[in-house]
Every structure is written in structure tokens, then in C-alpha cells.
């Protein structure tokens, strides 16, 4: 996998559009295109790392953004909780081999791990506007 082949590297570069909600020096965060819950976001490193176990520092680099994004989603979307997870390796369910942390807001009307994976109907433009305040 080279960076030019990598979907998430192309999102970081802006070559492929995304609904970005946060960025810092180490990371970019955007809405998942097939959300498990409303506001499901992916925090990814700007540099290419295949998965969270392929590099000993990548999770630490992403940690400030994960906390900021989780709290942003709670504040802006009225979530009461979040699931925070990363898949590392194909047998874990990883499909995109650029490390990413799923930050999945959870709501009081649909709680619990058994209900984690929606699916939910979600208008990404509308959710993006509520999180960022843009487009209103
Ligand atoms: P994983 O299964 O942990 O590798 O998760 C990859 C995630 O990336 C899935 O939840 C996909 O819905 C999401 N995804 C794939 N392509 C895009 C894209 N172009 N924009 C946003 N999210 C994407």
C-alpha cells in the first residue's frame, strides 16, 4: 500500500472529499460515510500507518483528538456517551488499512453495546452542520 493508493491518505490530502469536523497537527477527523450511530466519526493520523498495532506511538498521537471529538459530539449532538474503538487487522473487521479510531456517539434512546452497530438513517450534511455550525 502506498500513500497514493490509500483512501484515507487521499482524504487527508483533500483529494477525496470528507465531512471534516476536527483537525490538529497529528490528525484529521471526519464523519463515517456509513454511520453506525448519528455522528459516527473517524479520527485518523495524517501520516500513513496501517493500523494501531503497526506503530507504538500512533494511538498516543491521536488521543487528544479522540477526547476532543468525543466531547464535541456529546456537546453538539446531545449524545450521552461514546464508544471509542479501533480495528487492527483484517480479522478484527478492519477494512481500510490506514489506522483510525471510531468515535461513536451514543444516545439514551438506543443504549448498550448490543445496539452499537445501527444502522441509522443519517443525513451527513445536516449532522455535519450541527457539529461544526457551518452551512446554517
Ligand atoms: P474499519 O472497518 O475499522 O476499517 O472502518 C472503516 C470505516 O471507514 C467504515 O466504517 C467505513 O464506513 C468508513 N469509510 C469508508 N470509506 C469512507 C469514506 N470515503 N469517507 C468516510 N468514511 C469512509
Cβ neighbour number for residue 118 with a 10 Å cutoff:
15
Scanning the chain, the segments in alpha helix (DSSP H) are: 7-13, 58-77, 124-132
**Cell numbers describing residue 9:** 491518505
Task: Please answer whether residues 66 and 101 qualify as being in contact, where contact means their C-beta atoms are separated by less than 8 angstroms.
Answer: yes
Write the pLDDT tens digit of every residue in 68-87. Answer: 999 999 999 999 999 999 99
Say how many Å lie between the CA of residue 97 and the centre of ligand 1: 10
First to last CA, the chain: 39
Say how many Å lie between the CA of residue 32 and the centre of ligand 1: 6
Alpha-carbon gap, residue 87 to 59, rounded angstroms: 12
Percent pLDDT > 70 in the chain is 96
What's the pLDDT at 135? 66
Residue-level length of the chain: 136
Q: Is the CB of 34 under 6 A from ligand 1?
A: yes
Mean pLDDT of the 35-51 span: 98
Q: Which of 32, 53, 84, 87 to mutate to test the pocket of ligand 1 (most atoms within 8 A of CB)?
A: 32
Q: Is the CB of 91 under 6 A from ligand 1?
A: no
Write the pLDDT tens digit of every residue in 15-32. Answer: 999 999 999 999 999 999
For Cα atoms 78, 43, 13, give the angle at the middle one, nearest 5 degrees.
125
100 is catalytic: yes
Amino acid at each position: 500500500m502506498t500513500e497514493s493508493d490509500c483512501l484515507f491518505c487521499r482524504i487527508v490530502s483533500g483529494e477525496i472529499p470528507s465531512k471534516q469536523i476536527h483537525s490538529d497537527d497529528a490528525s484529521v477527523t471526519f464523519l463515517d460515510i456509513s454511520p453506525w450511530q448519528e455522528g459516527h466519526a473517524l479520527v485518523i493520523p495524517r501520516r500513513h500507518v496501517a493500523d494501531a498495532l503497526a506503530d507504538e506511538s500512533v494511538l498516543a498521537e491521536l488521543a487528544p483528538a479522540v477526547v476532543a471529538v468525543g466531547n464535541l459530539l456529546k456537546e453538539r449532538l446531545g449524545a450521552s456517551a461514546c464508544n471509542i474503538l479501533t480495528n487492527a487487522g483484517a480479522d478484527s473487521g478492519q477494512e481500510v488499512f490506514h489506522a483510525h479510531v471510531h468515535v461513536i456517539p451514543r444516545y439514551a434512546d438506543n443504549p448498550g453495546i448490543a445496539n452499537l452497530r445501527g444502522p441509522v438513517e443519517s443525513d451527513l450534511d445536516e449532522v455535519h452542520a450541527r457539529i461544526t455550525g457551518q452551512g446554517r
